[in-house]
Structure 1
Amino acid sequence: MGIRTEYFAAPSDEVAATALRTPGGPADPDQRTDLPRFDAVAVPSMDPFIMLGGLAGVLSGRPYGEVTAHPRHGTLVCSGGDEGPWIVTVSQTLADDLASAAPTRLARAAREWSATAPHAVPPRQLAAALLPLAALATRAADLGHGLYCWTSLTE
């Protein structure tokens, strides 16, 4: 069993919670418009707790325990039950750090992050995940939205 993660932007926790009603995730198209319900990116195997905590520490230069103690780091917004899906917050500090990071900073962060990741993840794989996540963070910042993670178990 694995984990599926989609990061998405929403103007509030209440609006983000509506993504729970989209069984395919926040990028699922609205049946009336055929457009995605949320601006979202799939980032495989990047859980919003441990992996993003490591990323937040690398980007901010702060200890892992400090960044994961942030009140919005992985805070549950809503739950679909024991098997998910779940929607959790991404701290605004991390969202801001992602939005402001140049591609060279993201590549350097991926190398540093790879060295501290709990599972061996190649820096290229992390960098490939960071670029769309940072672009999402930039679009969210432009709209004054926050970042969220829709997470579900997979078989």
Structure 2
Amino acid sequence: MGIRTEYFAAPTDEVAATALHTPGGPSEPDLRTDQPRFDAVAVPSVDPFVMLGGLAGVLSGRPYAEVTAHPRHGALVGSGGEEGPWVVTVSQILVDDLASAGPMRLAAAAREWSGDATPAVAPQVLVSALLSLGALAARATDERKGVYCWTSLTD
């Protein structure tokens, strides 16, 4: 069993929690408009707790324990029960770091982060993930939205 993760932008915790009602996740198209319900990016196997904590440490230079102690690091805003899905917050500090880092900094962070990732993830996978997350963070910042993670168990 694995996890499926989609990171997405929403204006409030309450709006982000509505992603629980879309079985396919926040990028699932609205049946009325055929447009995604949220600005979202799939980032396979990058959990919002341990792996994102490691990324926050790499980007900020702060210790893992400090970044994961932030009250908005992985704070639950919605739960579909024991088997999910779940929606959690991404700290604004990490969102700001992602939004302000350019592609070169994100690529360097991905290489450093891949060495710390548990389980190990190939650097090229993380580079792609960070570029997508950085672009999402920049759009969210421009639109004054927060970034969230929708997580679901997979078979």
TM-score (norm 2): 0.99
Partner of 2:41: 41
Deviation at 1:120, TM superposition (A): 1.4
How is 1:93-108 mapped onto 2 (pairs within 5 angstroms)?
93-108=93-108
Distance in 1 (alpha carbons) for counterparts of 2:122 and 2:6: 20
Deviation at 1:24, TM superposition (A): 0.4
> Which amino acid is the alignment partner of residue 116 of structure 1?
D
SS in 1 for 2:112: helix
Query: What percent of counterpart residues are identical?
Result: 77
Partner of 2:7: 7
Deviation at 1:116, TM superposition (A): 1.3
Partner of 1:117: 117
Deviation at 1:65, TM superposition (A): 0.3
Partner of 1:75: 75
Deviation at 1:115, TM superposition (A): 1.5
For residues 94-134 of structure 1, the C-alpha deviation after alignment (integer angstroms, 9 at most, x for no partner) is 00000000100001101111111121112111111111111
SS in 1 for 2:151: strand
Alignment gaps of 5+ in structure 1: none
Alignment gaps of 5+ in structure 2: none
> Which amino acid is the alignment partner of residue 8 of structure 2?
F
Deviation at 1:151, TM superposition (A): 0.2
Partner of 2:147: 147
Distance in 2 (alpha carbons) for counterparts of 1:123 and 1:30: 34
SS in 2 for 1:45: coil
Question: How many residue pairs end up in the alignment?
Answer: 155
Partner of 2:19: 19
Distance in 2 (alpha carbons) for counterparts of 1:3 and 1:122: 17
Distance in 2 (alpha carbons) for counterparts of 1:111 and 1:2: 23
Q: Over aligned residue pairs, what C-alpha RMSD do you find?
A: 0.6
TM-score (norm 1): 0.99
| Alignment of 1:63 onto 2:63 | yes
- Stretch deviating more after TM superposition (79-88 or 112-121): 112-121
Deviation at 1:61, TM superposition (A): 0.3
> Which amino acid is the alignment partner of residue 32 of structure 1?
R
Distance in 1 (alpha carbons) for counterparts of 2:14 and 2:113: 32
For residues 6-52 of structure 1, the C-alpha deviation after alignment (integer angstroms, 9 at most, x for no partner) is 00000000000111100000001111111100000000000000000
